[in-house]
Structure formats: C-alpha cells, structure tokens
C-alpha cells in the first residue's frame, strides 16, 4: 500500500504541474490533479494485484532469448 500512496503523491504533483503549465489556471490544474490521478491510482492498485496474481510469474523477454540462444 505504501507503494500505491507514494505513486499517488507523485502522480498528483505531475498532473497538477503539467495541467497548470498548459493552461496557466490553478483551478483547472487542481481539478485535473484531483480527478485523474485518483482514478489512475485505483486502477494502478488493481493492476498491481492482477500483475502479482497472473503476470508476476512470467519469464522476462531476456530470459526467453537467453534460453533460445543455448
């Protein structure tokens, strides 16, 4: 959960900064920084759960190529 929270803080900061630089409006920057990262953080949490359950045990591309080279 700590990883998800730190990701959220980083994402809020990036979302606000990018939106503010593009629009010059603190209100729009704040709105986007609250809505988009909040939704993305929830999606990331479930992505991690799925990754750990189904994707975490897969071989990496490097491992596959190393095995084929032998």
pLDDT for 12-70, tens place per residue?
899 999 999 999 999 999 999 999 878 887 898 998 888 888 876 666 656 666 767 76
Give the residue from 4, 36, 40 showing the smallest Cα distance to 17. Answer: 36
Q: Domain tally for the chain?
A: 1
Tell me which residue range forms the domain holding 35: 2-69
What pTM did the predictor assign?
0.55
Helix (H, G, I), strand (E, B) or coil at 25: coil
Largest CA distance in the chain: 58
């Amino acid at each position: 959960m700590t990883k998800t929270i730190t990701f959220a803080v980083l994402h809020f900061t990036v979302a606000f900064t990018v939106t503010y630089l593009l629009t010059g409006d603190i209100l729009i920057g704040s709105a986007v920084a609250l809505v988009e990262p909040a939704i993305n953080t929830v999606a990331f949490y479930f992505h991690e759960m799925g990754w750990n359950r189904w994707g975490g045990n897969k071989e990496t591309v490097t491992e596959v190529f190393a095995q084929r080279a032998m």
